[in-house]
């Protein structure tokens, strides 16, 4: 189903980065938006840009009561939610072996289970209104993996797989699902949304530890522009048929292209092994 002329957007993680820039672009187009952050005062300035079309709410996606309250407030104010943007989340870097259980579980709560819960809360409203669009901000790390980012990448792979199943269930109902897969963007991700457990095992000095050492120094020099990324998301979701995947940035595009090309080549190389695992035709 095509979006209405004046869609209502619900965006998580609007204090900085993609969420903030996307919210500004939505307001610039004259649309309505619910902007959320863990503390509502961090997005109050966005709501002040168009008080009649914006609603600022406190939302910690790991808090079920806050999810219910935010969705209720959004529908009470605007009557509907047309676009849900699951943007809230953060990064965690460490070697796989040195990952801390509490940090790993906290990241899954925010990046995965919180996203799942909010989507479940919004779906009844989209079903009732006959359509909508869901944008799940994953990462190029949801397509492949990098040293030091195993647990972060695992959260993004989880969202990618879940989104494929979600799409199979809701696209017949007029609800589109798009995974947004950015590479490095200037969103202050390293300074604001990244936790690290230092790697002290010498075996990982050239892999996980080396990558963690370069992360903070790279912040502010990434090639990706969050404003252009927001414009791309809007263009994609307002198409008659939004894409299932939206890769953003040259690094992500080139990485994804190479990953898929290599996987296809490997798949074809082992075609006989794959097909030979079935019962012979006519048997079994």
What six digits make up the tokens of 77?
């104010």
Query: Residue ranges per domain, the chain?
Result: 8-251
Question: pLDDT by residue (tens digit) across 230-276?
Answer: 999 999 999 999 999 999 999 999 999 999 999 999 999 999 999 99
Three-state DSSP class for residue 62: coil
> Rounded to an integer, what distance in angstroms lies between the CA atom of residue 34 and that of residue 78?
9
Q: What is the band of 184 on the pLDDT scale with cuts at 50, 70, 90?
A: confident
Choose the catalytic residue: 90, 152, 218, 253: 152
Instruction: Name the burial class of residue 280, with classes exposed (0-12), middle (13-18) and buried (19+) by CB atoms within 10 angstroms of its CB.
Output: exposed
- The whole-angstrom distance between residue 151's C-alpha and the CA centroid of its chain comes to 15
Q: What is the band of 218 on the pLDDT scale with cuts at 50, 70, 90?
A: low
CA terminus-to-terminus distance, the chain: 44
> Rounded to an integer, what distance in angstroms lies between the CA atom of residue 83 and that of residue 177?
10
Q: What is the mean pLDDT of the chain?
A: 94
Q: What is the band of 223 on the pLDDT scale with cuts at 50, 70, 90?
A: confident
Give residue 96's region: left, alpha or beta (phi > 0; psi -120 to 50).
Answer: alpha
**DSSP character string of 192-231:** HSEEE-----GGGTTTHHHHHHHHHHHTT--SB-HHHHHH
For the structural domain made of 8-251, what CATH number should be given?
3.40.50.720
152 labelled catalytic:
yes
Q: How many CA atoms lie within 13 A of 241 on its CB side?
A: 4
pTM: 0.95
Q: What is the pLDDT of residue 202?
A: 98
Rg (CA), the chain: 20
**Dihedrals φ, ψ of 113, to 5°?**
-70, -35
Question: pLDDT by residue (tens digit) across 118-165?
Answer: 999 999 999 999 999 999 999 999 999 999 999 999 999 999 999 999
Q: What is the pLDDT of residue 186?
A: 76
What six digits make up the tokens of 117?
């819960």
Question: pLDDT by residue (tens digit) across 163-183?
Answer: 999 999 999 999 999 999 999
């Amino acid at each position: 189903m095509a979006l209405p002329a004046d869609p209502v957007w619900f965006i998580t993680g609007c204090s900085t980065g993609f969420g903030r820039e996307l919210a500004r672009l939505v307001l610039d187009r004259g649309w309505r938006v619910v902007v959320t952050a863990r503390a509502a005062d961090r997005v109050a300035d966005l709501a002040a840009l168009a008080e009649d079309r914006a609603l600022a709410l406190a939302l910690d996606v790991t808090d079920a009561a806050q999810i219910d309250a935010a969705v209720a407030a959004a529908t009470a104010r605007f009557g509907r939610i047309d676009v849900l943007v699951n943007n809230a989340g953060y990064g965690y870097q460490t070697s796989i072996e040195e990952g801390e259980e509490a940090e790993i579980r906290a990241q899954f709560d925010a990046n995965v289970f919180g996203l799942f819960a909010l989507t479940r809360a919004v779906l009844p409203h989209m079903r009732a209104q006959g359509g909508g669009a869901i944008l799940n901000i994953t990462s190029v790390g949801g397509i492949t993996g990098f040293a030091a980012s195993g647990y972060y990448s695992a959260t993004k792979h989880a969202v990618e797989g879940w989104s494929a199943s979600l799409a199979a269930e809701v696209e017949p109902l007029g609800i589109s699902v798009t995974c947004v897969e950015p590479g490095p963007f200037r969103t202050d991700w390293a300074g604001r949304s990244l936790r690290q457990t230092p790697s002290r095992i010498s075996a990982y000095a050239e892999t996980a530890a080396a990558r963690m050492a370069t992360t903070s120094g790279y912040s502010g020099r990434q090639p990706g522009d969050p404003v252009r990324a927001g414009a791309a998301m809007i263009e994609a979701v307002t198409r008659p048929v939004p894409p299932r995947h939206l890769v953003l940035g040259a690094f992500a595009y080139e990485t994804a292209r190479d990953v898929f090309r290599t996987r296809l080549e490997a798949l074809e190389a082992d075609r006989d092994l794959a097909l030979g695992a079935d019962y012979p035709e006519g048997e079994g």
